Structure 1
């Protein structure tokens, strides 16, 4: 059985869970761009606040869409660059898979710097590369590690951990697994038996190469995970 290309979400979820557990109990955490508050269950030890712009409803004809979306659990509905909370009013901010949907991600970092108290925490995940999704609210395909290494210090954050999720071979395998669906949607055709055999063979090759991987994540990966502290 080939697992190559299937680890994007589970690895990210586990990193978020274990990283949130590093934040001391009782602190206030703002989930910026919380959406449906997917990771609220990991925040039971924290005072959780959910913020989002609240305009995405799951529908649309362009790219990948969810079909439905629930904004009813939000505590704050606002632009992420102008969150109506006082300066230094939260101990931590979590922002997961949101930056590609923000017209001004650097403005968001500036706002996070305003909101987080000195010594506080910042947890960010975002794609390194992504397909069009949540359109029309998709403005960047992804962010390299150098984005964080440049801009986080500019806004007073010191990076504690920075991890790449996946590698070149894992990412290619993820997209190989989409080919059947994409062939139907964008080429109006179904794959032949020979096509499916070829794709399965591709996954075998990619899994073998991924096991031998030596830092191909510097070229391509699923996404970057960042944990930082406010100075």
Structure 2
């Protein structure tokens, strides 16, 4: 059962947008339980999954803060919603830089607003200014940084996530009756964000998608 959440929908939109940059030998750093975005990438010769949790069945069991790969051995690093779970995200960013070949890209998504999750390993939220600083400080050149959602998407995500957690919706059979309501509400709020180009709306974000390059 899939409950509509603006965060997940908008994440997929961002990953798909930058999928042409994901090519060659790809490292999914902090891959989690599934390669949920790997079907977006058409120019990948090898897709390597790395995660610290062996239950996720990654090819490499390791921390992204200490990647057991050779220098300049990877064409593209992808890391989605991972850095907030690290005590020292700057170490992971330096590792991304080390393993990337010159000219290689890193595609990274991070949250700015959201509920506590995977506790107690939930340490940070990032603004666009903060994440830009961390990557440039590690030597990367910023290619693009895209905001994910605005005020309305953020409100919708928080409300839907609260209801999921408050009423254990994934464990209730009757939840299926409410799926169309969540979907309609979430899509409407995403639509409202698209109509609102005000500076007030841009001050609110679910998160960011960052494309950087190792020159």
TM-score scaled by length of structure 1: 0.74
1:147 aligns with 2:147: no
On the 8 A contact 2:145/2:208 being kept in 1, the answer is: yes
Give the whole-Å Cα distance in 2 for the aligned partners of 1:161 and 1:23: 14
Give the whole-Å Cα distance in 1 for the aligned partners of 2:190 and 2:76: 37
Q: 1:207 to 1:44 in 2, by over 3 A?
A: closer
- Compute the displacement of 1:22 (Å): 2.9
Q: How does 1:12-161 map to 2 (within 5 A)?
A: 12-24=11-23, 27-36=24-33, 37-46=35-44, 47-54=46-53, 70-72=55-57, 74-140=58-124, 142-161=125-144
Q: 1:48 to 1:216 in 2, by over 3 A?
A: farther
The DSSP-based 3-state class of the residue aligned with 1:177 is helix
- Pick from 151, 170, 174 the counterpart of residue 153 of structure 2: 170
Give the whole-Å Cα distance in 2 for the aligned partners of 1:165 and 1:11: 6
On the 8 A contact 1:158/1:228 being kept in 2, the answer is: yes
Give the whole-Å Cα distance in 2 for the aligned partners of 1:21 and 1:8: 22
Partner of 1:11: 10
Give the whole-Å Cα distance in 2 for the aligned partners of 1:180 and 1:93: 34
On the 8 A contact 2:77/2:96 being kept in 1, the answer is: yes
- Compute the displacement of 1:89 (Å): 0.8
On the 8 A contact 1:29/1:93 being kept in 2, the answer is: yes
- Compute the displacement of 1:144 (Å): 0.5
- Compute the displacement of 1:219 (Å): 2.5
Please, which moves more after superposition, 212-221 or 84-93? 212-221
Larger Rg: 1
The answer for unaligned runs of 5 or more in structure 1 is 56-69, 186-201
Paired residues, number: 192
Give the whole-Å Cα distance in 1 for the aligned partners of 2:36 and 2:22: 18
- Compute the displacement of 1:215 (Å): 3.4
Partner of 1:188: none
The answer for unaligned runs of 5 or more in structure 2 is 169-184
Q: 1:160 to 1:54 in 2, by over 3 A?
A: same
On the 8 A contact 1:88/1:116 being kept in 2, the answer is: yes
